[in-house]
Amino acid sequence: MKVIISGGGTGGHIYPAIAIANELKVIDPSVDILFVGAEGKMEMEKVPRAGYQIVGLPIVGIKRELTLANLAFPFKLGRSFARAQQIVRDFQPDVAVGVGGYASGPLLLSASLKGVPTLIQEQNSYAGLTNKALSRWAKRICVAYPGMNAFFPEEKIKLTGNPVRSDIQFADQQLEAGRTLFNLDPTRPTLLVIGGSQGARTLNETLEANLTQFIEAGVQVIWQTGAAFIERARAAVAAVNSPLVKAFDFIYEMDKAYAVANAVVSRAGALSVSELCLVGRPAILVPLPTAAEDHQTKNAMSLVERNAALLVNDRNAREELVAAALHLLNDTDLCKRLSTEIKKLGKPNAARDIAEEVIHLTK
């Protein structure tokens, strides 16, 4: 069995794709999997690190504002489509999977034109532009939220949830290992702050300006900044000179980070929300306001409306977030309620369910 998995651009696309690939390998160790991503994007580093081969397309996104870069878009799209056709001819997949992101467009269209059955995995509660366009040709569309028939043909939809890395499901078993990894004091509360795989400026600048408040409250902070902010974060940590704050550009062992967290502050990307549901951690979500179609706010509200998370708007975060986080850490009853409700929304079998749909299409 040969499977192409295409897409990427952010961890929210890449890690579900890797989770699907891993599950396919569990079901059929002989499966041959090829990833297709966008040149220069993070999948070109993350996918090989996970043990899979990836090839890149010269595809780029089109900017919403008028820029000179948009003039190159048609040419790069054409080159990407030609390259995708060549990849499909050479690899001869039995099925092609798209997880969203620039590369999935040319690849899935090329596969469809060659008669290869395609499956789309939509992570968000508001469908992305690429997936909406590709749904016309897709045989199956796996979604994470109910009500997605607003975007896709209902007969193609299967509600599976979002696949996450298998280690996340067993985070609770990593408490001691996490305390050792992050050198934590088990008698103090721990706040995990994650702005997505590339960081979040609002969260980073809010923490940078308010580290002393957490230190004075005796709170340990594990802070994932993204690569662009790590030097500023390290300078801020050095300035407060406290072992209570740990800054990282990227945390690979997220199972251990979740294990030690008493509460989490996070963006509301699809992958982060799905992971929080599985680990059952009380969370404050700060949606990225510039996300396409404001889909992060919609992701967050799907939890908030079920009393499964708290919401702080990005525009208010600098004034409200620190107080909200400290209040949550000090309110044991609220933490328990949020933890109980968010865990009800977890779908631990998502990767297996999607992998089985992929295999079904090959038959």
Annotated binding-site members for UDP-N-acetyl-alpha-D-glucosamine: 10-12, 124, 165, 197, 251, 270-275, 296
Binding residues are 10-12, 124, 165, 197, 251, 270-275, 296
Q: Say if strands 263-266 and 32-38 run parallel, antiparallel, or are unpaired.
A: unpaired
Cα 27 from Cα 243, distance rounded (Å): 44
Q: ∠ CA(174), CA(48), CA(135), 5° rounding?
A: 95
Cα 36 from Cα 103, distance rounded (Å): 7
Per the listing, tokens 């708007």 go with 313
**Count of alpha carbons within 13 Å of 84, Cβ hemisphere only?**
34
Q: How deeply is 232 buried, as exposed, middle or buried, from its count of CB atoms within 10 A (0-12, 13-18, 19+)?
A: middle
Cα 51 from Cα 28, distance rounded (Å): 16
What kind and span of H or E run contains 83?
A: helix 73-91
Q: ∠ CA(111), CA(354), CA(286), 5° rounding?
A: 100
Helices 201-216 & 317-330, crossing angle to 10 degrees? 50
Cα 97 from Cα 262, distance rounded (Å): 36
